[in-house]
Homo-oligomer: A and B are copies of this chain.
Amino acid sequence: MNISHAAKASGLPAKTIRYYEDIALVKPGRNANGYRDFSEVDIHNLTFLARARALGFSIEDCRALLALYTDTSRASAEVKRIAQDHLTEIETKIADLTAMRDTLSHLVRTCHGDDRPDCPILTGLGGAQHGSDRIQK
């Protein structure tokens, strides 16, 4: 299976697959002509990686998860720990973004957005801090 086929099967761009080989996440074989040759297992691993990345796991987390995935004697505790840590990270990000959104949407709502120079958004960013206009660090 050549790389474009592997790309289609896994949903990852060919460039990304080459990169994953570079950093030793996958180790496809090679044909006589030098082209990469992906086995079913390679495709399966790439699909695994695509899913884990879609869930926001870092490459290093993916490397660990993939190692655990192929080790049938692993304990699920280790996997759960990685996933739980990542879940906590995601929840922190959601909280941060939600706070940003609340502040920003308030600023946007109060800005008339016409051709007048007066702008509560810039005033808010510029340091006029009072009441709900305050921007948290």
Q: Which residues of A contact B (CB under 8 A)?
A: 11, 44, 47-48, 50-52, 54-56, 65, 68-69, 72-77, 79-81, 83-84, 86-87, 90-91, 93-94, 97-98, 100-101, 103-105, 107-108, 111-119, 121-122, 124-127, 135-137
A54, B135: Cβ atoms under 8 Å? yes
Copies of this chain present in the complex amount to 2
The answer to whether A94 and B97 touch across the interface, beta carbons within 8 angstroms, is yes
Contact A117 B72 (CB under 8 A): yes
Can you identify 5 A-B contacts, CB atoms within 8 angstroms?
A51-B135, A54-B137, A55-B100, A80-B111, A97-B97
Residues A101 and B108 in contact in the complex (CB < 8 Å), given A69-B126, A75-B116, A76-B118:
no
Residues in B with CB closer than 8 Å to A50 are 137
Chain A contact residues: helix, strand, loop or mixed:
helix
Known interface pairs A76-B121, A119-B80, A122-B65; A127-B97 also in contact (CB < 8 Å): no
- Find the B residue at minimum CB distance from A127: B47
| B residues less than 8 Å from A90 (CB atoms) | 97, 100-101, 104
